[in-house]
Amino acid sequence: MHDLLIRGATIIDGTGAPRMRGDVAVADGRVVAVGRITDAARQTVDADGLALMPGIVDVHTHYDAQITWDRTLSPSPSLGVTTAIMGNCGFGIAPCPALLRETIVKNLSVVEGMDLDALLTGTRWEFETFAEYLDQLRRVKPYANVGVLFGHSTVRTAVMGAEASTRATPTADEIARMRALVKEALAQGAAGFASSFSPNHSGFGGLPMPSTIASDAELHALVEPLRAAGRGVFVMATGPRGTPEFMEDIAVRTGRPAFIVTVLTMHNASAPKTAMDWYERCAAARARGHEVAIQTSCQPLSFDFTLEDPYLMLSHDAFDRVKTATPGELPAIYADPAFRARLRENLAHPKPGILFHGDWRKVEMPDGTSVSQRAAEAAVDPLDFFFDTALADGLRTRFIAKLFQNDDAGVAPLLKHEAGVIALSDAGAHLIYFCDAGFGLHLLSHWVRETGTFTLEEGVRRLTSHPAAQYRIPGRGRIAPGGWADLLLFDPARVGLSGLVRQRDLPAGGERTIRRPTGVHGVWVNGTQVFDGTDYVALDAGPGHVIDRYDA
């Protein structure tokens, strides 16, 4: 007898093959039959023609701390995600000696826009080593499958301590210890190694995140274990420093896939040809037999923010004072003509790879009008209007900066490009500013149903088997006998996302932004239902696996 039978579904199997009407049977967490099935099952779901696809594979999340207090990994499973890769950008929480826990979470709170009190209060530290962290995740029993990248900034902090953010050159012994820890982590089940050179990645107190000050030689030493392991991927928030050619060299050195994460590969109306240039250079590397790819966002990159926490502007030198200021000191800084003059200079000569380039047409007021428009009406400079408006409201004015990926005509060719893998949800991070954890439902609603950029079959493939294959995740992303039964049942005519919802449900009463699904009727992980279309299913233990084995 089967454990689960989903009957009468329109099956999109994740491979890109044409849809079919049929049944799916599940036993012991795996799909055992697809087609017309007459056998009995302990539980039967009548799909009545709804679409059934593999669960979404999200290869760019930051649930590293949240998972220690929230096994549901909210909100991702409700949004169709059944497999999540954590530790991106090299900002994990393991390994972490006990004395460095506060340093690690303080940096994480700034670089990934997380509530510091929630991290300090909620993170459960039952580990110091990476292996112990994986063991803790197994005890957590998460609702989704999770894999963990081993992080450059994390291991640098573990070995170099607080100096990891201030001392550019480790000793030979420190390099050797870091390299040994990378090797151990890969043997223990890390999905690969992750790092960041991004100019947008600042840590606590205005200090840079540790990996961003590392030399090329250090990075080359730390990726060496990937070649010896013959498994694992390399993922980097590259900024302008990690060019496609730089990443191709990493792929050559390691023999492993290398993935680029940077706003330079996102469509930007101010420089519309830049992103495609990066894609074409990656395609050239792939033609030479070197697996270099770009993590591609299918959603507009927008920040909902106030000047109490202006994350998207911190890469400008003018904001160095802001990074170390107390809340009470901020109004005087923002009102200071010298601060504004310095910011004007920054915007006149923006550094490559930063988030905000000074286009005030892309920053909206609460009523939807742009800062540029409102400043013109008031006959004042838009920069002055922006800061004066915030100051008049006690810095509580909520602005929305719509920075990248906002033009469908410019974005569609990037999404369809051979060198891209659809990702970049940043789920679990930047909870103050946005929630992109529902990227898969957005693709199904906007890029499949509304624009027809993808067929349903191809859209599903790009969310499931394609990222699973790129990251060498075995048994995921397809509905086929023998594969794990990660499943999403939905209505293609209604699938999508709610607007932003703000709620205070983090530890210590912290606030976050989430989205809720529409048109989702059920989500199963390894054959167990975790979301019923309305809420999470109450389970004593989640069915998710800690993925610690990857294909070569």
Grade residue 482 by pLDDT with cuts at 50, 70 and 90: very high
Q: How confident is the model at residue 353 (pLDDT cuts 50, 70, 90)?
A: confident
| pLDDT given at position 431 | 84
Pairwise CA distance, residues 112 & 90, whole Å: 11
Helices and strands of the chain, counted as H and E runs: 17, 24
Across the beta sheet with 258-261, the strand order is: 150-151, 192-196, 233-237, 258-261, 292-296, 420-422
What type of residue is 240?
P
Asked whether the whole model's pTM tops 0.85, one would answer yes
Instruction: State percent of the chain over pLDDT 70.
Output: 100
Range 352-368 average pLDDT: 89
Residue with tokens 């989640």: 542
Q: How far apart are CA 44 and CA 550, in angstroms?
A: 32
Check residue 402 and give its pLDDT: 85
**257: which 2 tokens?**
């896939």
Boundaries of every domain in the chain: 55-300+405-476, 304-399
DSSP H or E segment with residue 389: helix 382-392
Structure-token pair, residue 189: 């089940």
Which residue intervals of 199-317 are DSSP H helices? 216-229, 244-254, 274-287
pLDDT band, very low/low/confident/very high, at 200 (cuts 50, 70, 90): confident
Give the pLDDT confidence of 250-295 residue by residue, as tens digits. Answer: 999 999 999 999 999 999 887 899 999 999 999 999 999 999 999 9
Residue 59 Cα distances to 62, 84, 94, 242, angstroms? 10, 6, 18, 20
pLDDT bracket for residue 244 (50, 70, 90): very high
User: What is the average per-residue pLDDT within 344-367?
Assistant: 90
The Cα 226–Cα 192 span in angstroms is: 7
The CATH T-level fold of domain 55-300+405-476 is: TIM Barrel (3.20.20)
Would the pLDDT of 304 be above 90? Answer: no
Centre a 10 Å sphere on the Cβ of residue 369 and count the other Cβ atoms it contains.
Answer: 11
Which H/E stretch holds residue 57?
strand 56-58
Residue 329: predicted pLDDT: 96
Question: Which pLDDT band, with edges at 50, 70 and 90, does 243 fall under?
Answer: very high
Give every CB contact of residue 272 below 8 A, 6+ residues apart in sequence: 410
Average pLDDT for the chain: 96
Cα–Cα distance measured from residue 305 to residue 297, given in angstroms and rounded to the nearest whole number: 20
Cβ distance 145 to 545 under 8 Å?
yes
- Report the pLDDT value the prediction gives residue 433, as an integer from 0 to 100: 76
Task: Kindly tell me if the per-residue pLDDT of 309 is higher than 80.
Answer: yes
519 confidence band (pLDDT: 50, 70, 90): very high
pLDDT at residue number 424: 92
pLDDT at residue 432 tops 80: no
Do β-strands 420-422 and 292-296 pair in parallel, antiparallel, or remain unpaired? parallel
pLDDT in tens, 114-162: 999 999 999 999 999 999 999 999 999 999 999 999 999 999 999 999 9
